[in-house]
A and B are shown apart, each in its own frame.
Chain A
Amino acid sequence: MKGRIEDYRDPRLTDELLRDIREAAGRISSRTVSLMEVCGTHTMAIARYGIRSLLPDNLKLLSGPGCPVCVTPAGYVDAAVLLSRDPGVTVVTFGDLMRVPGSDSSLTSAKASGADIRVAYSPSYAIELARQHPHRKIVFLAIGFETTAPSLAWSILQAKENGLENLSFLSACKLIPPALHALASSEEVKIDGLICPGHVSAIIGTSPYAEIVRRYRIPCAVSGFEPVDVLLSVLLLCRQIAGGEARVDIEYSRSVREEGNRKALSLLQQAFEPADSAWRGLGTIPVSGLKIRPAFSAHDAEAVFGVDVPLGKDNPACRCGDVLRGVISPPECPLFRTRCSPLTPVGACMVSSEGACAAFYKYYQLEQKKGSRPHGD
């Protein structure tokens, strides 16, 4: 059923859902229940509406690996910085990648040192630049999940069709289901339910989650992004857990079809092939990335510039992987609040302002300050 956007933000509905959630969570008696929101957009919505502050104490929300910027490894940033130092190259990137730390530098620092780095909202800007400046080599930093990848695939196809020889893409596109398998198959995993990404699911459909349920018996709910969506998904998961069930509930039925979006999937198929991929904090996950097919190697920056994307130096003490798996909470990481903070992030979970560690950092500080008075009375 489609409704007006206001309906999905209606406080009367959310109050009702919260009451039902408390009731259902109360039936999961013995322990803390950890639900992971996989997608960065869910993390943002949860923060924006203050949803954590409304949930019962035994319900914890963990932020998963679904923020494409956060999981882009240092080595990829290193390769992009290296390319940007070529005076003939213009690097085009989504804005939020600018501050992500590489091994020694970031795109922000490279730009300040004179590199030609442009921020774009869409890869079509890179196509336009390539047309306007035939003598400059334009490199688009192609990062994203199944949601962003179809528009990147389309742009790669366009580059070839229009003979834009000066346009190439450095792909670090990633796939969500293999990352979920990697998290779920970990022996220490502490995830009781997955809030699955609505936008990604609109592309890939729901069968990948059925596989997660079958293999690991983790309840799944495919969720939209408004507060009513998120709370309804939390409720559906609580009810599954309380009843000892595990299945895929589709909360976001207004956008998600079981078979996904065939047209988008076909675009992906044409431009990309699956490949192993490195995730910041999680290491290399088999067939979790998208590599540009050899037929388009003229537009594959790795082939054009002979770049070998290095693994990069993730700080060995960083325990983002354990945080993402729900094994430890952020303060248990030795770098938390010492070397790693929102202004100088080390790991994936601190990079995005709403990553698990960044969120914890803020609330931790505030809990200390709440109610304190400036003169100590």
Chain B
Amino acid sequence: MAIESDRILIAHGGGGTAMQELVREIFVPAFNNQFLEPLQDSAVIEELAEDRLAFTTDAYVVRPLFFPGGDIGRLAVSGTVNDLAMAGARPLYISLSVIIEEGFPVEQLRAIAHSISATAEEARVKVVTGDTKVVEKGAADGIFISTAGIGVIETDLEICSDRADDGDAVIVSGYLGDHGIAVMSKREGMDFTSEVRSDVAPLAGLVQEILDADIEIHVLRDPTRGGAAAALNEIAQSSEVGIRLHAAKIPVRPEVLSACDILGLDPLYVANEGKLIALCPLDHARKLLALMRKHPLGANAAIIGEVTSEWLGHVIMETEIGGTRIVEMPYGEQLPRIC
């Protein structure tokens, strides 16, 4: 059976034949697995081991839906997978709720479903349950996606934002600010000479390798909205420590830096969707850095700072010329709706 319209109609959310067609033609083939297939109200998944579980949820309203390096589908899977991974969990299952605006092109929905499927495969998670709603034109902006995810924590490590310790090294897995600038420049129609691509990617594989390597990880964070500045301030506050960064060591692509100069932004506050920040004792940091650099998603990893017993609750930057400044917690969003 084929979907008869090339636009989403209110009927596609009505719970009848039209909706069955939509689900069977677009979503089931994309995420095909035995837990989803019965299409019941709940997925009954195989018993999870005796490990601790991690459980998370997130919503995605990015504009534009398709941007250099990714799209809302890849973002939705990566975001949820990364939230699980940052708790030290191995992501297993995710749910998918889509709210579609009447009139949305079916072709785009298909492309998004395909992207969700490809990213889920990359992250080794299954989409096991879902929901579709169609709202009247104007009641949503194209498509909104909400995902929840479950993972198992197999490590004995307690990984949490409040575990940073005096002397820990602060490591980032690569260039900062790519996602925010990619989305911004596409949205604002800005044409920079070299295109900046979003870094959106599921980090579960990289995190798994870190956890398997017997490294004493204290904190893992993905610096999404609010950028590295917000993530590091949260760590400094909840661990009651100070964090000192070294501006010259922070990896930022030259084209991202120029875009930030033009837009009046600080790359530390710009969103990332495929980067992590790890804190671990200094004597483990070299090993962690070497391991990350061998992984494609950590090739440009760098030690950017350390935890100190000064400036408690604050993030301090040693600038390129040896001065000191405070890296403040952002007040609101520097860039609205980028994730």
A interface residue numbers (CB < 8 A to B) = 9, 11, 14-15, 47-54, 121, 227, 342-343, 353, 362-363, 366, 369-374
Contact = CB atoms under 8 A, between A and B. Distances in A.
B312 A373 contact: yes
Contact of B320 (A11, A53, A342): A11
A49 B317 CA distance: 9
Interface stretch (B40-48, B65-73, B151-159, B323-331): B323-331
B290 interface: no
Contacts of A51: 321, 323
Contact of A11 (B263, B317, B321): B321
B312 A372 contact: yes
Given A50-B317, A362-B328, A15 B312 contact: no
A47 B314 contact: no
30 contacts: A9-B320, A9-B321, A11-B320, A11-B322, A14-B321, A15-B321, A15-B322, A47-B325, A48-B266, A48-B325, A49-B319, A50-B318, A50-B319, A50-B323, A51-B321, A53-B323, A53-B324, A53-B325, A54-B323, A227-B320, A227-B321, A362-B328, A366-B311, A366-B314, A366-B326, A369-B314, A371-B310, A373-B309, A373-B312, A374-B240
B322 A54 contact: yes
Where chain B touches its partner, the secondary structure class is loop
Can you list the 9 inter-chain pairs with the closest CB atoms, starting with the nearest? A50-B323, A50-B325, A14-B321, A50-B319, A374-B240, A53-B324, A50-B324, A49-B319, A54-B323
Contacts of B328: 353, 362
Of the listed residues B188, B266, B310, B319, the one surrounded by the most CB atoms of chain A closer than 10 A to its CB is B319
Given A11-B321, A50-B324, A227-B321, A121 B311 contact: no
B311 A369 contact: yes
Interface residues of B, number: 22
Interface in B281-324: 309-314, 317-324
Nearest to B188: A121
Contacts of A15: 321-322
Contacts of A54: 321-323
A363 B322 CA distance: 17
Nearest to B313: A369
A37 B125 CA distance: 55
A318 to B, nearest CB: 21
Contact of B310 (A48, A227, A370): A370
A230 B309 CA distance: 32
Interface in B173-211: 188
Contact of B319 (A48, A362, A366, A371): A48
Contacts of B322: 11, 14-15, 50, 54
Contacts of A370: 310-311
Given A362-B328, A374-B240, A49 B311 contact: no
A185 B234 CA distance: 47
A49 B310 CA distance: 20
Interface string B29-47: 0000000000000000000
Contacts of B323: 49-54
A53 B328 CA distance: 17
A376 to B, nearest CB: 11
